[in-house]
A and B are shown apart, each in its own frame.
Chain A
Amino acid sequence: MGQVINESPAAEPRFKARGVDKHFGPVQALTQVDLDLYAGQVTALCGDNGAGKSVLTKCIAGIYEIDHGQFFWEGQPVHVRSPRDSARLGIETVYQDLALADNLDIVQNMFLGRERLRNGFLNEDDMERAATKTLADLRVTTVRSIRQPVASLSGGQRQSVAVAKAVMWNSKLVMLDEPTAALGVVQTRMVLDLVRRLRDRGLAVMVISHNLNDVFEVADRIAVVHLGRMVAQGRASAFDRQSVVDYMTTGASSRTGQRTDGNGAKSGTR
């Protein structure tokens, strides 16, 4: 299904999905979806509302179990049946609602559920140092104190904390659900810079986004889903704004269709 555009036979993707089906009762949410996510690259997952972006993300995160198809992790077939499975592989997801507890501070949120202990009690100093280091590595420098409650942070800062929380655990694949929705211009730039830094650290990054400005600013690769099918996937340079819109709305584009290389046919036989 779908076209693979301008794909060069690169290294093995860190994460691969092949022929993924998922249905909820009579509703077929995903049909024969293939997806490749590479280390050190940002992949933008685009699609209209209800196209299946969120379902696909939740399948990878282990919240839904797939009906058919296979996931591969660094070339090996894997089964992801629960969020625990995906976390064990090194997959972290930052959902749109961020899942931060407003009444807890930054350190407490970043370590929630994985607190470090000393003699059975919380080792606050140790956690604070580690959280400080992670934020500094990601150059999240605008927070006044790492001990301030998350409720007192701006939207961009909250997003940064959620991302830092996700990358703290030696994660290898980070999926961000609409990371710039509801953010202002400056904060959007701050979050996109953060996404680039994740890529530079060698993580595989998937960004779900509606916002084509963001997509073209940050993505190395683009994947478009339409009505539960992967209709196009390839290097960002092979797309332009109009073609992505075409794929998102109609599932096909006359513009990049002409530029599809031989891999497209191979993919189409699946």
Chain B
Amino acid sequence: MARAEAPETAPDPTAAVQAATLEVPPELVAQSLGEWFRAWLTRIRSGDSGVLPVILALLIITIVFQAISPNHVFLSAGNLVNLFQQSAVFMVLAMGELFVILLGEIDLSIGYAGGVGAAITVQLVQPSTAKWPWWGAVLAGLLVCVLIGGLHGTLVTRLRLSSLIVTLGGLLIWQGAMLIILGLALSGYPSLAGLDANRQVLYNLMNGTIDPVVSWVAMAVVVIGIAALLWFGDSRRRRSGLVAPPVSLTLIKMVLIAIVAISVVAICNVNRAAIGTLAGVPWVIPIVLAVFGAWMVILQRTKFGRYVYAIGGNPEAARRAGINLAAVRTLCFIICSFTAGIGLLLYASYLGGMSGNINGGQLVLYAIASVVLAGTSLFGGRGKVLHGILGGLVIGGIYNGMGLLGLDVRWQFIVTGLVLLVAITIDSLSRRSATSGSAARV
């Protein structure tokens, strides 16, 4: 396709506009909502569909499982809360894995690297032996995860080993280490179920609930805060003469965020107990949101985040820009393992203890599948923290729905694999048509 280039002497506005609208994110050029919508449609048709496919996948999963699950239980409050809890582990692991995938690297070890951290934490709070306070035990576990990530990153950057091989080694080594820590038998089976307040805190990470009134207030504060940030960010840009998205679009964004937040809190505040009362937002939801917010700020608003994308996009350009590639890469591996530590701690909380039977190999594949099926590129440079949330919800939805149907893990593996293949096939096909359309650019 010959690209219309408008030289300043003889501008041909129509040609230039047509050429440009094909590729420019709609929010950059639209002055009104209608214009934005048309630009968005053009963009989807040209192959860059953003998170639309994963949203569609979520809708399909919801409709199918709601239709075929026994008693249409999929959309019941109790099951949805359970679904959030199951997805939380995948989401957190996926948001960590995202950092190394953005570099174009991979970390296969997160299931067991995080497992080592969680095992240490659980062992340290056992009342019969170590008796550490819960926060000390959590810090110790996460610190070990940081060290593990630092080791992986150093081997990859300083010795220039392939991250695939380094973390494949890690997958085995940390599984062994985790089993050794769990097998210390200081306390018998390291459980989090117990009446002591110390272990209750860790048990409640996944299972504890926030008082309904408190969760409504907290939700309102968070939603209003986000809305204010969006609004003032836009108006500051407009005041200083920069292009800002149309007001109506910003308002729609705010309303969507509010709807999602209100729905989640409302669902969680329904009494989901068969007998007695069980209502309220589980602690795990604010924990996942905190990880999401922190990692999003780091990736979108800091130099470090910018360098992660730059290295994933063109390492040579990053090197010439004076960026310390080894430091950024190592820090990504550290963040990845650290986040995995949080993820496995949540998993331990979900299981009510730390078992040697956790399948860290499967967890890492689910984490990678989550971000990739939501649109993150395995070649690096393209991906968002939001992909971890949405992809984790898809994987968690399949996992949950298959469980409701009474299909065991064998079928879960097959369906999850198929969903992943379909997602990346669609992604790859649309991308191929997008690139062939502009082969003329050099």
Is B381 an interface position by the 8 A CB rule?
yes
User: Do A186 and B5 touch across chains, with their CB atoms under 8 A apart?
Assistant: yes
Annotate B1-30 by CB proximity to A: 1 below 8 A, 0 otherwise: 001011110000000110011111100110
Chain A hits for B160, CB < 8 A: none
Choose one: A97, A122, A193; the contact of B302 (CB below 8 Å).
A122
Partner of B28, one of A115, A145, A153: A145
Stretch at the interface among A65-73, A136-144, A224-232: A136-144
CA distance A119 to B77 in the complex (A): 42
> Cβ of A101 and Cβ of B314 under 8 Å apart?
yes
Output the nearest chain B residue to A122 by Cβ-Cβ distance.
B301
In this assembly, does A84 line the interface, its C-beta being within 8 Å of a C-beta of chain B? yes
Cβ-defined contact, B313 with A104, below 8 A: yes
Nearest residue in B to A150 (C-beta to C-beta)? B313
- Chain B CB within 8 A of A243 CB: no
Q: A147-B25, A148-B28 are in contact. Are A101 and B318 (CB under 8 A)?
A: yes
CB neighbours of B323 from chain A (8 A): 112-113
Q: In the complex, A182 Cα to B439 Cα: how many Å? A: 13
Cβ A154 vs Cβ B3 within 8 A: yes
Which residues of A, 145-176, contact B by the 8 Å Cβ criterion? Answer: 145, 147-149, 151-158
Contact between A148 and B442, CB atoms less than 8 A apart: no
Q: Report B-chain residues with C-beta under 8 Å of the C-beta of A100.
A: 314, 317
For residue A188, give the distance in angstroms from its CB to the closest CB of chain B. Answer: 10
Q: CB distance B7 to A186 under 8 Å? A: yes
A101 engages B5 (CB within 8 Å): no
- B158 located at the interface, meaning its Cβ lies under 8 Å from any Cβ of chain A in the complex: no
* B residues near A186, Cβ cutoff 8 Å: 5, 7
Interface residue A103 (Cβ < 8 Å from any Cβ of B):
yes
Tell me the residues in window 332-383 of chain B with beta carbons closer than 8 Å to chain A beta carbons. 381-382
Distance, CA A239 to CA B190, complexed state (A): 86
The yes or no answer to A83 lying at the interface (CB within 8 A) is yes
How far is A111 from B191 in the complex, measured between Cα atoms in Å?
51
Do A112 and B321 touch across chains, with their CB atoms under 8 A apart?
yes
Least CB distance from A34 to B in Å reads 28
Asked if B236 CB lies within 8 Å of chain A CBs, one says yes
Q: How far is the CA of A153 from the CA of B23 in the complex (A)?
A: 9
Q: Are A122 and B382 in contact (CB under 8 A)?
A: no
B171: min CB distance to chain A, Å = 29
A115 and B303 in contact, given A99-B317, A139-B8 (Cβ under 8 angstroms): yes
Chain B hits for A117, CB < 8 A: 303
Shortest C-beta distance, B41 to chain A (Å), equals 17
Whether A183 pairs with B313 at a CB distance below 8 angstroms is no
B317 x A129 contact (CB < 8 A): no
The 4 closest A-B pairs by CB, nearest first: A113-B321, A144-B20, A152-B23, A101-B313
Chain A residues at the B interface, C-beta cutoff of 8 Å: 83-84, 95, 97, 99-104, 108-109, 112-115, 117, 120-122, 125, 128-129, 139, 141-145, 147-149, 151-158, 182-184, 186-187, 189-190, 193
Residues of B with Cβ closer than 8 Å to A?
3, 5-8, 16-17, 20-25, 28-29, 236-237, 240-243, 297, 301-303, 306, 309-310, 312-314, 316-318, 320-323, 381-382, 438, 440-442
Could you list 28 examples of A-B contacts with CB < 8 Å? Answer: A83-B322, A101-B309, A101-B310, A103-B382, A104-B310, A108-B309, A112-B306, A112-B317, A112-B323, A113-B321, A113-B323, A115-B303, A120-B302, A125-B242, A129-B240, A142-B5, A142-B7, A142-B8, A144-B16, A144-B29, A147-B25, A148-B25, A152-B20, A154-B5, A154-B441, A155-B442, A187-B5, A193-B8
